[in-house]
Amino acid sequence: MELSGIWKRFPGVVANAGASLTVRTGSIHAVLGENGAGKSTLMNVLAGVYRPDEGVVSVEGIEHRFRAPADALTAGIGMVHQEFRLVPSFTVAENVVLGAASRILRRQAIEDEVAELAERFGLATQPDHPVWQLSMGERQRVEILKALWRDARILILDEPTAVLTPAEADELGVVLRKMADAGRSVIFISHKLHEVTGFCDEATVLRGGRTVAASLRVADTDAGELASLMVGSSPMTTERPPPHPVGDALLEVTGLCALGDRGLPALESVDLKVRAGEIVGIAGVAGNGQRELCQVIAGLRESTAGTVRLAGQDMTGVSPRRLFEAGLGYIPEDRLGVGLAPRLSVIDNSILRTYGEHRRGPFIVSDLAEAHCVDIVERFGVRTGPLDEPMAGLSGGNLQRLLVGRELSGRPRVVVAAQPTRGLDVQGVKAIQDLLVEAREAGAAVLLVSEDLDELLTLTDRLLVMHDGIVVGEFDPITAVRSDIGEAMIGYAAGVGT
């Protein structure tokens, strides 16, 4: 499979400027690059979603011009997108055959067929379960099955591990290896270096829409070299911030219980304390109550028992607005869906929390709103177009800077940050991490929920581990042993009981 000299322009950006990629049969090939390096565009060209402005796509020596994803599929190229394209109310088997089954649907036969296929590649799944009941990892397996069922010989996975827990990611690595051994090729897009060095054979690095390193053998390189290729200079790493004196407990959670989205208990008596001037981290496999904990603290989910105290005051069940006014900055996990309003302008988004302060009578004074926005944009280094244009055009890193900037601009006493650096490029991650450290130094109590253990170990002063809705352990990030944390995350730690 070969892509060469691919150009693709979008209004205002050149996403691919002569990028190329060669993938050998039976290998796992990583495509690396920062956000905006052109990885996704290149893959969409390969999968027939975009047509390149220039350049050649050839598979097994035959040149192709894909007009639609179906053409690419015919040529044996299947893609698993970042956002899954599944019908929630259909079963796994129905989703797998959707659009490709020309004969009468014989439910049992199809389920058996899908089960057999899943078995062959070690993809654990239940063909008769509706997709809405599945976890993100299971949904991803359905997407992979879809491509395999259509006999894709080249499988593209666009940042597949972004939605997976570390354990699921490892499992995925095993599945991909099986596929490669069976003579299929896998293209693996990621910016997590340890995954690339962990289970890929070769790597191609993109930067600024161009290929800067083609088909490096992973065995001959290391994470440091790949990282420096990605960013074009030595990799930036956030250093452990110097110790900082801590003050009174500003955030106190006691005996907190809450239900999850499906009405099952998600939090079962959580206790924690965050003091002024410290960052407390929460590690855990996704889906163990971290999300619900943040939501309850932020006033977006009802608790069933227990209390949340902010600077000593009971704030359980108080509205999000009053919590913000009381000094709670909340960086939600879902930036675009919860933290921002993509269709509104940059200005409107910057005043989402404080618009009440820019009022004169019933009116929002546009000068005040704009000044507030300019302040955030300048202080937090948000790169934007015109401020009165819809915000949706900003890149992921800048969206997050705007959101974090807005939450931190009022110097909150307590900051709750849920996955604040997920999916950002190296620079974006560093910028956000620096902001959290700054907030700590300014005396805020920061609660940081992350799936990136390195991030937690670097930034936090204390590290809590959640499993199954409770805090199962506390670690000192300086002396902690990774494997101990890992065991606590999966519930093996001593003293974990029910």
Q: Which residues bind other proteins (CB under 8 A)?
A: 10-12, 53, 62-65, 67, 71, 298, 300, 319-322, 324, 330, 332, 334, 337-344, 348, 351-353, 355-356, 359, 362-364, 366, 385-386, 389
CA 68 to chain CA centroid, nearest Å: 28
What is the Cβ-side half-sphere exposure of residue 418, based on CA atoms within 13 angstroms?
20
Find the shortest distance in angstroms from Cβ 137 to other proteins.
Answer: 23
Find the shortest distance in angstroms from Cβ 242 to other proteins.
Answer: 34
Find the shortest distance in angstroms from Cβ 66 to other proteins.
Answer: 9
What is the Cβ-side half-sphere exposure of residue 411, based on CA atoms within 13 angstroms?
4
CB-based contact 290:418 (threshold 8 Å): yes
Q: What's the token pair of residue 373? A: 């926005």
Find the shortest distance in angstroms from Cβ 239 to other proteins.
Answer: 33
Degrees, nearest 5: CA angle 301-303-307? 120
Amino acid, single-letter form, for residue 279:
I
Find the shortest distance in angstroms from Cβ 463 to other proteins.
Answer: 27
**b/e per residue 188-198 (b: at least 16 CB within 10 A):** bbbbbbebbbe
Find the shortest distance in angstroms from Cβ 359 to other proteins.
Answer: 5
| Bridging pattern class, strands 249-259 and 313-314 | unpaired
Query: 336 or 494, CB closer to other proteins?
Result: 336
CB-based contacts of 159, cutoff 8 Å, min separation 6: 82, 189, 190, 191, 423
Find the shortest distance in angstroms from Cβ 439 to other proteins.
Answer: 19
Find the shortest distance in angstroms from Cβ 11 to other proteins.
Answer: 4
Find the shortest distance in angstroms from Cβ 264 to other proteins.
Answer: 21
Query: 54 or 314, CB closer to other proteins?
Result: 54
Three-state DSSP state, 19: strand
Find the shortest distance in angstroms from Cβ 44 to other proteins.
Answer: 16
Query: 160 or 209, CB closer to other proteins?
Result: 209
CA distance 57 to 199: 26
Query: 67 or 106, CB closer to other proteins?
Result: 67
CA distance 37 to 281: 30
Query: 268 or 325, CB closer to other proteins?
Result: 325
Task: Return the residue matching tokens 């956002």.
Answer: 83
Polymer length in residues for the chain: 498
CA 138 to chain CA centroid, nearest Å: 16
Instruction: Give, in order, the Cα–Cα distances in Å from 98 to each of 92, 124, 135, 143, 144.
Output: 10, 20, 20, 11, 13
Rg of the chain over all Cα atoms, to the nearest angstrom: 24
CA distance 290 to 304: 16
Query: 67 or 194, CB closer to other proteins?
Result: 67
- Torsion (CA) 60, 64, 68, 72 in degrees, nearest 10: 0
Query: 181 or 363, CB closer to other proteins?
Result: 363
Query: 4 or 197, CB closer to other proteins?
Result: 4
Query: 18 or 443, CB closer to other proteins?
Result: 18
Query: 63 or 239, CB closer to other proteins?
Result: 63
Find the shortest distance in angstroms from Cβ 488 to other proteins.
Answer: 31
**b/e per residue 395-405 (b: at least 16 CB within 10 A):** bbbbbbbbbbb
Query: 70 or 167, CB closer to other proteins?
Result: 70
